[in-house]
């Protein structure tokens, strides 16, 4: 855009105010540049600052989003910061800090007769009968009109400001703290009296005669007049004892004032990030001041030899684990009634934890001794450990390149805890080594009875003979002589000739007679299947009445696929629980 052209800029006037709801004026590029230069000169102090309606200077460094007047405030003709100050018309009267609700305070005036709407029990106007806290009267004040209780103090609604709502001590009575001060004063007084009694007893027994005559513990020429002065001197002596032992870096002890001054930082301590200036060393997090890895890892130093080996090294050391165990013991002891705390009284907790461990070990030893006295078996505890008994042997075993044993004894095969390969009743195979038609048995004799006696080869021949027996025996009851393959072939040819002759005769019959014959055959097959299904149901019923331990194996299992007629018979004979006539089917 050329310099002479006009540019529409929706901005505030140079004074910092706004035009309110009016349409923003159009400023040229030159006016915009002059406005910015004036602002820069005001910030540098070369131009006078703006003045508000009260005659006060406006800081030129205030951001524009603070100095500009919002559109929803009445427009003003000159710059102002009135919109950033509290508005008197919008301010509400807040309660002064320190005021609080008064509970249970009664008014001075007492009514002489019952007033309408008051409590029926005591006669006070500030509550109802269901909220009355006085003793229930046999005849309430509503009916007697005497002994009216005074009205309670009605506290107006307190309106706190921002600070008053968040003041946690507002309404607190400081006199309640005096109870704690008095309690500690009594404890301090009891300690002083007890210490004075001990000192008197030691003086009477003559234990302190040597200490009094020594120049270090010689008292002043003037003996203290009161017991409290003696206590003060004895306390000063106790503190002076430890003055010579305080020799820590970064501390300064003054025995006269009895104060310890700690410097800001111990100068002997080296910062973590200064231990190794290599940028590829351990990472230092400045926000948490943590360096978890060892800064001397690249230097090849042993973590035990250096003074600092990372936060993780300290965290996983034995002191951290023991401290966690001590903290756990403190929690358990506190739950059982012992007033111990790891941070508040660590010495007491450490002594208590040591005595607890000693008592625990003694209890374990007593328990072990009592069990050995009652049941015996101490000789088994004196045996060497199993590592020494089983780890080293003198058996020589030589292996090949593939891992097979060339010389020596193979490793024993791991066996289960159950009995294996147990043969009973003269059997040479175990139960379950033979399976046929859904039944388990013995492979040595083909017997399907579990605890039967083995019959050997005779049992096998008998089982095979049962399979070869035809289903339809001749009328005389004797087995027919097996036919040769030539005889079987000749019989097949004869049967084929007979079928051809029958086909010629059947061709003359109608299709209706064929369908009737097929229907007749289906009915006969279905009748046979129904009879077989009834027999099967009777068999199942007898088996279900037996004990589970006496049932034969796979008695309810059939390995053969059922035919269509058998499936239809099963559906016809199956009893449905939702059938209302199911109870009459067996009658």
pLDDT profile of the chain (587 residues), mean per 10 = 39 44 73 93 91 89 88 73 81 75 70 91 91 93 91 81 86 88 96 93 77 48 48 51 47 52 62 83 86 81 78 72 89 90 91 94 94 88 73 76 80 73 86 88 89 87 72 49 73 84 67 73 88 86 81 72 85 78 66
Distance CA 161, CA 96 (A): 9
> For 138, which DSSP code?
S
Which tokens go with 18? 């706004």
Q: What is the radius of gyration, based on Cα positions, of the chain?
A: 55
Residues belonging to the chain: 587
Give the separation between CA 367 and CA 80, rounded to whole angstroms. Answer: 89
Of the candidates 441, 439, 422, 421, the residue with the CA atom closest to the CA atom of residue 431: 441
In sequence order, the β-bridge partners of residue 434 are 441
As a dihedral over the C-alpha atoms of residue 24, residue 30, residue 35, residue 41, rounded to 10 degrees, the angle is: 180
Neighbour tally for 376: CB within 10 Å: 9
Distance, CA of 444 to CA of 433 (rounded, Å)? 9
| Angle value at C-alpha 292, between 290 and 293, nearest 5 degrees | 135
DSSP 8-state code for residue 206: T
Q: Which residue has the tokens 């002594």?
A: 351
Report pLDDT for 3.
37
- Nearest Cα neighbor of 354 from 329, 380, 389, 320 is 329
pLDDT value of position 544: 82
* Phi (first) and psi of residue 106, to 5 degrees: -100, 150
What pLDDT shows up at residue 467?
66
Chain-centroid distance of CA 429 in Å reads 56
Contact 414, 424 (CB under 8 A): no
What's the CA angle centered on 364, arms 358 and 365, to 5 degrees?
A: 90
Looking at the DSSP assignment, which residues form a beta bridge with residue 405?
Answer: 399
pLDDT for position 219: 44
For the purposes of burial, counting CB atoms within 10 Å of the CB of 365, is it exposed (0-12), middle (13-18) or buried (19 or more)?
Answer: exposed
Residue bearing tokens 């009652």:
374
Whole-number Å distance between alpha carbons of 345 and 342:
6
Class of residue 309 by CB neighbours under 10 A (exposed 0-12, middle 13-18, buried 19+): buried
Helix (H) / strand (E) containing 487:
helix 485-508
Q: How far is CA 393 from CA 210, 384, 389, 397, 409, in A?
A: 73, 15, 9, 11, 13
């Amino acid at each position: 855009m050329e310099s002479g052209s006009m540019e529409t800029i929706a901005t505030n006037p140079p004074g910092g105010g706004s035009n309110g709801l009016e349409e923003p004026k159009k400023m040229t590029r030159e006016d915009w540049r002059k406005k910015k230069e004036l602002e820069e000169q005001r910030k540098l102090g070369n131009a006078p600052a703006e003045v508000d309606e009260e005659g006060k200077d406006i800081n030129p460094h205030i951001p524009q989003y603070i100095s500009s007047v919002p559109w929803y405030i009445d427009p003003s003709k000159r710059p102002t910061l009135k919109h950033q100050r509290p508005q008197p018309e919008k301010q509400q009267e807040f309660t002064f800090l320190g005021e609080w609700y008064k509970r249970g305070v009664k008014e001075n005036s007492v009514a002489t007769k019952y007033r309408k709407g008051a409590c029926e029990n005591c006669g006070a106007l500030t509550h109802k009968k269901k909220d009355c806290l006085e003793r229930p009267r046999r005849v309430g004040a509503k009916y007697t009109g005497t002994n009216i209780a005074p009205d309670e103090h009605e506290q107006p609604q307190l309106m706190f400001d921002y600070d008053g709502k968040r003041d946690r001590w507002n309404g607190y009575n400081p006199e309640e703290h005096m109870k704690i001060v008095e309690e500690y004063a009594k404890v301090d007084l009891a300690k002083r009296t007890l210490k004075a009694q001990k000192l008197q007893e030691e003086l009477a027994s003559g234990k302190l005669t040597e200490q009094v005559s020594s120049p270090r513990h010689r008292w002043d020429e003037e003996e203290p007049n009161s017991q409290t002065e003696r206590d003060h001197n004895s306390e000063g002596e106790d503190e002076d004892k430890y003055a010579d032992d305080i020799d820590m870096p970064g501390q300064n002890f003054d025995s006269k004032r009895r104060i310890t001054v700690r410097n800001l930082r111990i100068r002997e301590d080296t910062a973590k990030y200064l231990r190794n200036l290599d940028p590829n060393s351990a990472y230092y997090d400045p926000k948490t001041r943590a360096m978890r890895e060892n800064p001397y890892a690249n230097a090849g130093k042993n973590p035990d030899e250096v003074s600092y080996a990372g936060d993780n090294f300290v965290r996983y050391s034995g002191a951290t684990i023991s401290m966690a165990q001590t903290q756990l013991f403190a929690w358990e002891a506190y739950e059982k009634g012992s007033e111990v705390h790891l941070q508040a009284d660590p010495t007491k907790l450490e002594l208590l934890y040591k005595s607890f461990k000693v008592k625990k070990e003694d209890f374990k030893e007593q328990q072990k001794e009592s069990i050995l006295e009652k049941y015996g078996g101490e000789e088994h505890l004196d045996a060497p450990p199993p590592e020494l008994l089983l780890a080293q042997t003198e058996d020589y075993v030589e292996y090949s390149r593939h891992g097979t044993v060339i010389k020596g004894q193979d490793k024993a095969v791991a066996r289960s805890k159950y009995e294996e390969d147990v043969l009973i009743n003269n059997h040479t195979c175990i139960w379950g080594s033979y399976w046929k038609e859904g039944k388990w048995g013995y492979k040595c004799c083909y017997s399907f009875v579990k605890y039967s006696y083995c019959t050997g080869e005779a049992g096998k021949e008998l089982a095979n003979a049962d399979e070869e027996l035809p289903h339809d025996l001749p009328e005389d009851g004797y087995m027919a002589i097996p036919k040769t393959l030539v005889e079987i072939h000749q019989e097949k040819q004869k049967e084929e000739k007979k079928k051809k002759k029958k086909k010629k005769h059947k061709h003359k019959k109608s299709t209706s007679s064929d369908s009737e014959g097929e229907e007749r055959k289906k009915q006969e097959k279905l009748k046979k299947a129904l009879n077989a299904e009834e027999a099967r149901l009777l068999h199942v019923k007898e088996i279900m009445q037996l004990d589970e331990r006496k049932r034969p194996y796979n008695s309810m299992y059939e390995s053969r696929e059922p035919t269509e007629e058998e499936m239809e018979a099963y559906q016809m004979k199956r009893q449905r629980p939702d059938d209302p006539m199911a109870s009459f089917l067996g009658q």
